[in-house]
């Protein structure tokens, strides 16, 4: 051969060289930490299928947020575990519902220094475990459910949420919530739409975490997406953006990186990916068996999600990854308060 052998290995020679040419970075502010707050317990409880993840009391949730903030994690998303469930899931919009109480406390304690996201759905609060109200035939009534979502959005925004994240996959949910927020004076509350959410087998441990069993061996295939469909996800994303979503989420993450990439190519709004409970549990189980290096595999998973095009990752790994990142980087500056007092130079 007359042409020279390609020497791609030149740029992989040392750690410093690899760092110089790395295309993707991961930092604590890319991470959103899920937070389960449970009513009626007086000490935090570990979730057995999510080792290292707790159901929190109101008090321990605040401590957790404080620690996440110190590690540089920029946002938390709240999930509620109520003591009582009913057919409509009324705990989801009760001003004294567990998530509203947690939002209120966190808002008061952390001001604008931590972004507070409220997952909006009723499945944790309904006695049948579906993400909406049932019609006479046992299927989820889309439009009746939107009415409940409107109430929940207003209650969550009122309690202090910066961002509402509807995860129920009802048609028209973003428009309904945007409209309810605007009509109640919450024009500044943002919406992170779970735009492409698949009917996935990877949600199992989450359902343990929030104590949800879908009645009569049911599933969510009537409202969540079919894993066989990719173009349909793009349709969901376009519609959610047209309805007023400020950011979008793809869920789960690793099995759907093609969707993350397609979304990245199509839209410039912030894209989040949800590395879900089953994805986390698989890593932990393989690690516990000594089959993989858990920390390295966790980091590789999250880097891959960013490489595919996600800006943000909602993950149960948030805390441990932020801890390892903090250990190898200089101390992070104090997070800025959203509402700074006016600086003296600028005040006439
Ligand atoms: C629905 C909801 C689910 C998850 C987040 N929000 C469960 C579902 O759709 O059945 C799953 C998240 C995870 O597995 O980590 N409120």
Of 46, 108, 51, 103, which Cα lies nearest the Cα of 77? Answer: 103
Residue 346 scores a pLDDT above 60:
no
Choosing from 85, 108, 197, 284, the catalytic residue is: 197
Of 56, 156, 73, 54, which Cα lies nearest the Cα of 113? Answer: 73
For 254, phi and psi rounded to 5 degrees? -60, -40
Residue 338 scores a pLDDT above 80:
no
Within a domain: 32: yes
Q: pLDDT-based confidence at 6, cuts 50/70/90?
A: confident
For 33, other C-beta atoms within 10 Å of its C-beta total 26
Q: Report the alpha-carbon distance of residue 238 to residue 267 in Å, rounded.
A: 9
Interacting residues of 271 by C-beta distance below 8 A, sequence separation 6+: 247, 248, 249, 250, 260, 263, 264, 309, 310, 311, 312
Mean pLDDT rounded to a whole number for the chain: 94
Within a domain: 253: no
Within a domain: 304: no
Residue 1 scores a pLDDT above 70:
no
Q: Which of 64-68, 119-123, 344-348 has the lowest mean pLDDT?
A: 344-348
Within a domain: 269: no
Residue 170 in contact with ligand 1 by CB distance below 6 A: no
8 Å CB contact between 75 and 124 = no
Q: Report the alpha-carbon distance of residue 248 to residue 263 in Å, rounded.
A: 9
Residue 225 in contact with ligand 1 by CB distance below 6 A: no
Pull the structure tokens for residue 39. Answer: 């009513």
284 is catalytic: no
What is the dihedral sign for C-alpha 196, 200, 205, 206? positive
Name which residue sits closest to atom 7 of ligand 1, judged by CA.
Answer: 203
Residue 235 scores a pLDDT above 80:
yes
pLDDT in tens, 125-135: 999 999 999 99
- What average pLDDT does range 85-108 have in this prediction? 97
pLDDT over 90 for what percent of the chain? 89
Within a domain: 65: yes
Return the pLDDT at 344: 53
| Distance (Å) from CA 136 to ligand 1 centroid | 25
Residue 123 in contact with ligand 1 by CB distance below 6 A: yes
Within a domain: 302: no
Q: Which residue has the higher pLDDT, 21 or 2?
A: 21
8 Å CB contact between 120 and 90 = no
Residue 341 scores a pLDDT above 90:
no
Residue 2 scores a pLDDT above 70:
no
Residue 40 scores a pLDDT above 60:
yes
Residue 172 scores a pLDDT above 70:
yes
pLDDT in tens, 41-81: 999 999 999 999 999 999 999 999 999 999 999 999 999 99
Identify the burial level of 43 via C-beta atoms within 10 angstroms of its C-beta, where 0-12 means exposed, 13-18 middle and 19 or more buried. exposed
- What average pLDDT does range 76-105 have in this prediction? 97
N-terminal to C-terminal alpha carbon distance within the chain: 75
The parent domain of residue 238 ranges over 26-246
Within a domain: 290: no
pLDDT in tens, 187-210: 999 999 999 999 999 999 999 899
CATH number of the domain encompassing residue 57? 3.20.20.70
Q: Which of 148-157, 302-311, 337-346 has the lowest mean pLDDT?
A: 337-346
Going from the C-alpha of 152 to that of each of 47, 95, 275, 314, 320, the distances in angstroms are 26, 9, 25, 21, 31
What's the angle, vertex CA 30, arms to CA 25 and CA 35, rounded to 5?
Answer: 145
| Distance (Å) from CA 37 to ligand 1 centroid | 15
Q: Based on the structure, what is the number of domains in the chain?
A: 1
Return the pLDDT at 220: 94
Q: Which of 211-215, 256-260, 280-284, 331-335 has the lowest mean pLDDT?
A: 331-335
Name which residue sits closest to atom 8 of ligand 1, judged by CA.
Answer: 203
Kind of pairing between the strands at 54-56 and 45-46: antiparallel
Q: Report the alpha-carbon distance of residue 318 to residue 38 in Å, rounded.
A: 20
Q: Report the alpha-carbon distance of residue 226 to residue 325 in Å, rounded.
A: 36
Residue 277 in contact with ligand 1 by CB distance below 6 A: yes
Within a domain: 345: no
Mutate to test the pocket of ligand 1, among 206, 251, 277 (most ligand atoms within 8 A of CB): 206
Q: In 178-246, which ranges are E strands?
A: 190-197
Return the pLDDT at 329: 59
Residue 167 in contact with ligand 1 by CB distance below 6 A: yes
Q: pLDDT-based confidence at 340, cuts 50/70/90?
A: low
Residue 348 scores a pLDDT above 50:
no
């Amino acid at each position: 051969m007359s042409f020279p052998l390609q020497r791609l290995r030149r740029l992989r020679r040392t750690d410093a060289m690899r760092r110089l040419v790395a295309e993707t970075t991961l930092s604590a502010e890319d991470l959103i930490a899920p937070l389960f707050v449970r009513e009626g317990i007086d000490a935090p409880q570990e979730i057995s299928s999510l080792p290292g993840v707790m159901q929190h009391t109101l008090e321990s949730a605040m401590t957790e947020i404080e620690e996440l903030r110190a590690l540089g994690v920029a946002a938390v998303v709240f999930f509620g575990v109520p003591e009582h469930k009913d057919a409509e899931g009324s705990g989801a919009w009760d001003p004294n519902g567990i998530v509203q109480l947690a939002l209120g406390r966190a808002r008061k304690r952390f001001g604008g220094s931590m972004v507070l996201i409220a997952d909006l759905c009723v499945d944790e609060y309904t006695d049948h475990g579906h993400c909406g109200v049932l019609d006479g035939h046992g299927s989820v009534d889309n439009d009746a459910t939107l009415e409940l979502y409107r109430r929940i959005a207003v209650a969550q925004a009122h309690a202090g949420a910066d961002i509402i994240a509807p995860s129920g996959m009802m048609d028209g949910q973003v428009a309904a919530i945007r409209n309810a927020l605007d009509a109640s004076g919450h024009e500044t509350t943002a919406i992170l739409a779970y735009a492409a959410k698949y009917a996935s087998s990877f949600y199992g441990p989450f359902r343990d975490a929030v104590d949800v069993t879908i009645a009569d061996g049911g599933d969510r295939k009537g409202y969540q997406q079919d894993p066989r469909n990719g173009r349909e996800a793009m349709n969901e994303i376009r519609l959610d953006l047209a309805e007023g979503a400020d950011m979008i989420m793809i869920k789960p993450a690793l099995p759907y990186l093609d969707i993350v990439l397609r979304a990245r190519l199509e839209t410039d709004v912030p894209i989040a990916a949800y590395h879900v409970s089953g994805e986390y549990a698989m890593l932990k189980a393989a690690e516990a068996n000594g089959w993989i290096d858990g920390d390295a595999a966790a980091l590789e998973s999250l880097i891959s999600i960013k490489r595919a095009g996600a800006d943000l990752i909602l993950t149960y790994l948030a805390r441990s990854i932020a801890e390892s990142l903090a250990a190898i980087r200089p101390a992070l500056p104090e997070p800025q308060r959203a509402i700074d007092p006016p600086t003296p130079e600028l005040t006439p």
